[in-house]
Amino acid sequence: MSEHIASPKLYVGIFLALMVCTAATVWAAYVNLGPLNIIIALAIASFKATLVVLFFMHAKYSPRRTQLVIFCATFWLAIMLALTLTDYETRHELSRDSSHSGATAALASRIAR
């Protein structure tokens, strides 16, 4: 298998797509969407990152082995983010639910802080 050679047109196209996404994310940031703002910002950023990985970094045409390494990186990052957030995101729930018991609430709010 010889290496894949992309066309300059493709690269310029990807660049223009990244520019459009950048403009879109700045525009979306000024619209008040509540909690959706951060989700949209991260979704656009992830789409841009995917374009860079697939085309500029040639992941689309790389051997399966390399693609597996990329997948692992994302997967392990997701584990770190998700499992850490299950802790931090539920601490506040703990302090709210146990407000009927003074001692537990004090402890919980101390943990949350």
Partner 1 sequence: MHRTGELYGQFETLEQQKDTAQLGMWVFLVTEVLFFGGMFMTYTVNRHAYSAAFGVGSNTLDLKLGGINTVILILSSLTMAMAVLSAQLGKKKQITFYLIATLILGSAFLGVKVVEYKQKFDHHLIPGKSFDITFCGNNPSACGITAADAEKEQKEIEEAIRAENPDNPEQGLISLDSHAQLYFSLYFGMTGLHALHMIIGAGLLLWLIKQSLGGRFGPGYNTPVEVTGLYWHFVDIVWIYLFPLLYLIDRHVNT
> Which residues of the shown chain bind partner 1 in the complex (CB under 8 A)?
1-3, 5-6, 8, 11-12, 14-15, 18-19, 22, 25-26, 29-33, 37-38, 41-42, 44-45, 48-49, 52-53, 55-57, 62-63, 65-66, 69-70, 72-74, 76-77, 80-81, 84-85, 88-89
- Rounded distance between C-alpha atoms, residue 70 and residue 64, angstroms: 10
- Rounded distance between C-alpha atoms, residue 50 and residue 33, angstroms: 24
User: What's the farthest any 2 CA atoms get from each other in the chain?
Assistant: 70
Amino acid letter at 59?
A
Nearer to partner 1, 4 or 100 (CB): 4
The minimum distance between CB 83 and partner 1, in angstroms, equals 10
- Rounded distance between C-alpha atoms, residue 110 and residue 3, angstroms: 58
Nearer to partner 1, 57 or 106 (CB): 57
